[in-house]
Homo-oligomer: A and B are copies of this chain.
Amino acid sequence: MANDEAQTRIQRLNRARILDAGLETFSTEGFSGATLDAIARAAGMSKPNVLYYFPSKEAIYDAILQRMLETWLDPLRALDAEGEPVEELLAYVKRKLHLARDYPVESRLFAGEILRGAPNMIDRLSGPLREMVDMHCGVIRAWMEDGRIAQSDPHHLIISIWALTQHYADFEVQVRAVLGKKRDPWAEAEAHLEMHFRRVLSE
């Protein structure tokens, strides 16, 4: 038998196709609403073939969450302690907003999982994610103590960035409904958030 690591070209391809199809399906239908048939159809293969690559529906879901957290959150790791604080944080907001804009599907899947109480993700939240946030908070707190940005709770500052950027992706229908059809939510959001956080951060 092949060992764990060995994967043929076709295996990698089909696994990826299933994960892509599942991402789309789970994010729009929810975990219960998504059916294996729908995922298989979206992946362009038969249902048993899907189950040839993954042991169960939940295994697909878990694999999607894992892949997402590994790749999706990557641009958020950097927060340069040596940079100019305000510009550094505004760049962070911008990166996060673009992440939400360019990967709304991932954003919604993430939101859906958390809405349900994060049954398949809670350990990653209080593990890796929390460490990342705590690291950021260390940098931010230092900036605050040096008087380079306004004082506030670093954790809640991060939370507010996440809340505002995610909102434009997750609640896009509501945002569009409230703004009307002729406006461009994402462009406006970028301008508004820059000004918004400039005020929040300025001493």
Stretch at the interface among A39-47, A64-72, A138-146, A169-177: A169-177
A195 at the binding interface (Cβ < 8 Å) = yes
Q: Is the CB of B152 within 8 A of A178?
A: no
Q: Is the CB of A170 within 8 A of B32?
A: no
CB-defined contacts of A117 to chain B, threshold 8 Å: 28, 173
The count of chain A contact residues (Cβ–Cβ below 8 Å) is 51
Q: Copy number of this protein in the oligomer?
A: 2
0/1 string, A5-31, CB within 8 A of B gives 1: 000000000000000000000001111
0/1 string, A122-154, CB within 8 A of B gives 1: 100110011001000000000000000010110
A114 at the binding interface (Cβ < 8 Å) = yes
Q: Is the CB of B173 within 8 A of A122?
A: yes
Which residues of A (108-130) have their CB < 8 Å from a CB of B?
108, 111-112, 114-118, 122, 125-126, 129-130
A155 at the binding interface (Cβ < 8 Å) = yes
